[in-house]
Amino acid sequence: MAFDLIIGVFVWLLGLCIGSFLNVVIYRLPAGLSINQPARSFCPHCHGVIAWYDNIPVLSWLLLRARCRRCGAPISLQYPLVEALTGLSFVLVYYLLFVARARVGVEEPAHPADWPLLLAWLVLVGALIACATMDVVSYMVDVRVTYVAIVAGIVLHALWPRPGMLVPVGRTPLAAGALGALLASVLMLWRTVWRVPDDEPQADTAVPTASGASHAVSMVGRVAIVVFIGLTLWLLTDTVVARGPTPPGRLSSYGAARIDRPDGPPTDVAVTAAVLAIFATIVLAGGQPRAADADVKTAIEQERPHARRQALCELLWLAPPILVGAGTTLLLLYWPPANAGWDAAATWSVCGFAPLGGAALAVLSAMVGAAAGWVLRIVFTLVFGREAMGVGDIYILAAAGACAGCDMALLGLLLAVGVAIAGYVLGLLLKRSVIIPFGPWLAIGFVLALWWNEPGARIARHYWEGVTSAWTHRPDLCWVAGGLMLIGSAAAVGLAHVARRLVERVETK
């Protein structure tokens, strides 16, 4: 519809502007600089203030021919690329939420009632792009970006006028336990991390410039910018013709009702092309040599003898939040007065909002995402004897849960693993390295999770019903299946060890 097109254009322009701000975040945070001071953008070479007409996203870079107006220093291709990518990603998310209606539980998205959901996703996308770019450039994720996304997700869920979707989960003792675990985690971070001065050297503060890039890479980047803008216009055009009647029998919130819609995810060619373009950009960007490659690999090798002990220490650090969360959940389960009080608070609504119920659901989703990341990090570190997942990736999972829901965080994580393997294989053609920055693949995994939300929920529900039925009628088969899974996992671990050694031998030659 025409209104969707107008909102889509606004979202695109907003994405371009946010992308310009993300470039500031991506440059300043790793360099140890303030986001607010100086307030105006400046050239990192001559430190001259950039005029507003030289700071128009994408357009100014083209008009200036990638050169600073004052000193003539080259302007990195990263800047217009991030801006165009952010604009495309914002429009893609809007298209999936309001046109393709891919989000389970939001059968008929409405303006402006469901804008908090859109804003939460846009905040998440912005945080993902910033974290992914920093991860690609220097293998680091500044968790302050994820803090903003987590807080925004909680607040926007509290302001989302869909109590029928939020309250049934937000009122549960498990949600109260997640809130207690979050408060305990914040207290632990305040006492052990935030109060400790950071005396470690800052990350690589070198300014990315176009002069260091090869002509081929520069041409690919320029083509990518044109492709991103073309795909954005394609999606905006589709907003006029793609919205159809409400599909029957959609799955309600978080798997609470039946699914009888026969078709799968939206099969729009524009969405497919946009996802493939983002995937190709991540592969090409991650395949370029970086100054931090050797340092990161050396650090991993130096930390390997202590990796298992570090994982056990992290598990000990997580014990207080786990105990507080479990204790709060058990208290509400076995003490009716406490349960009644929490239920009354979580179901309290004003002007169509259920602030505590919505916030509790976002907190529960954030803790589920973080828990999945911690389990993978600790378990696989103990198995392989080396760091399996960065702490920054765990914060990204928590941000995804808070902004998009725990189902999006878990499905996105699952899809990101598969996409990362495919991207890693392709990246080997560009750069031999056993180091995989996982942040970019998490970002594309969450977009895929939104696109395939409904069929993913249908598959999960199908398998859940099969497992519960088998456990009820033939529990022996479940034990046999579990044993086979353990054997298969052990075999997979052995094969992974062999594959890693083969890759390392190739690297040393």
Give residue 460's pLDDT. 82
C-alpha–C-alpha distance, residues 231 and 4, integer Å: 17
% of the chain beyond a pLDDT of 70: 80
Q: Are residues 373 and 393 in contact, defined by beta-carbon separation less than 8 angstroms?
A: yes
- In degrees, to the nearest 5, what angle opens at C-alpha 276 toward C-alphas 411 and 63? 125
**pLDDT band at residue 62, thresholds of 50, 70 and 90?**
confident
**pLDDT band at residue 374, thresholds of 50, 70 and 90?**
very high
* Terminal Cα distance for the chain, rounded: 59
Query: For 5-37, how does the pLDDT look when each residue is reduced to its tens digit (9 = 90+)?
Result: 889 899 999 999 999 999 999 888 888 888 887
Of 369, 464, 391, nearest in space to 131 by CA? 391
Give residue 403's pLDDT. 95
**pLDDT band at residue 254, thresholds of 50, 70 and 90?**
very low
Quick one: average pLDDT of 439-443? Answer: 89
Q: Which two tokens stand for residue 38?
A: 């100086």
pLDDT at 250 > cutoff 80: no
- In degrees, to the nearest 5, what angle opens at C-alpha 150 toward C-alphas 147 and 155? 125
Quick one: average pLDDT of 220-227? Answer: 81
Q: Are residues 125 and 88 in contact, defined by beta-carbon separation less than 8 angstroms?
A: no
Bigger pLDDT: 461 vs 169: 169
| Sign of the C-alpha dihedral computed for residues 170, 173, 176 and 181 taken in this order | negative
Query: For 192-215, how does the pLDDT look when each residue is reduced to its tens digit (9 = 90+)?
Result: 777 655 444 333 333 343 433 444
Of 299-303, 332-336, 341-345, give the lowest mean pLDDT range. Answer: 299-303
Q: Are residues 318 and 149 in contact, defined by beta-carbon separation less than 8 angstroms?
A: no
Give the global pTM: 0.86
Of 74-78, 322-326, 442-446, 467-471, give the lowest mean pLDDT range. Answer: 467-471
Q: Are residues 287 and 138 in contact, defined by beta-carbon separation less than 8 angstroms?
A: no
C-alpha–C-alpha distance, residues 360 and 366, integer Å: 10
**pLDDT band at residue 331, thresholds of 50, 70 and 90?**
very high
Cβ-Cβ contacts under 8 Å for 359 (sequence gap 6 or more): 154, 155, 157, 158, 170
Rg of the chain taking only CA atoms, in angstroms: 24
Q: Which residues of 339-351 are buried (b: 16+ CB within 10 A; e: fewer)?
A: beebbeebeebee
Of 5-14, 75-84, 286-295, 358-367, give the lowest mean pLDDT range. Answer: 286-295
**pLDDT band at residue 162, thresholds of 50, 70 and 90?**
confident
The position carrying tokens 């803008």 is 229
Give residue 231's pLDDT. 87
Burial of residue 491, with CB atoms counted within 10 A of its CB: 0-12 exposed, 13-18 middle, 19 or more buried: exposed
pLDDT at 165 > cutoff 80: yes
Domain boundaries, the chain: 150-193+214-244+265-469, 474-509
Bigger pLDDT: 59 vs 489: 59
Of 142, 351, 165, nearest in space to 254 by CA? 165
Q: Which two tokens stand for residue 475?
A: 């529990």
Give residue 446's pLDDT. 93
C-alpha–C-alpha distance, residues 184 and 318, integer Å: 10
Q: Which residues of 381-413 are buried (b: 16+ CB within 10 A; e: fewer)?
A: bebbeebbbbebbbbbbbbbbbbbbbbbbbbbb
Bigger pLDDT: 39 vs 250: 39
pLDDT at 356 > cutoff 90: yes
pLDDT at 299 > cutoff 80: no
Quick one: average pLDDT of 218-222? Answer: 72
Give residue 131's pLDDT. 92
Of 13, 2, 320, 330, nearest in space to 184 by CA? 320
For residue 353, give the DSSP letter.
Answer: B
Bigger pLDDT: 277 vs 39: 277
Q: Which two tokens stand for residue 239?
A: 């907003």
**pLDDT band at residue 291, thresholds of 50, 70 and 90?**
low
Identity of the highest mean pLDDT range in 67-81, 163-177, 227-241:
163-177
pLDDT at 266 > cutoff 60: no
Rounded mean pLDDT of the chain? Answer: 81
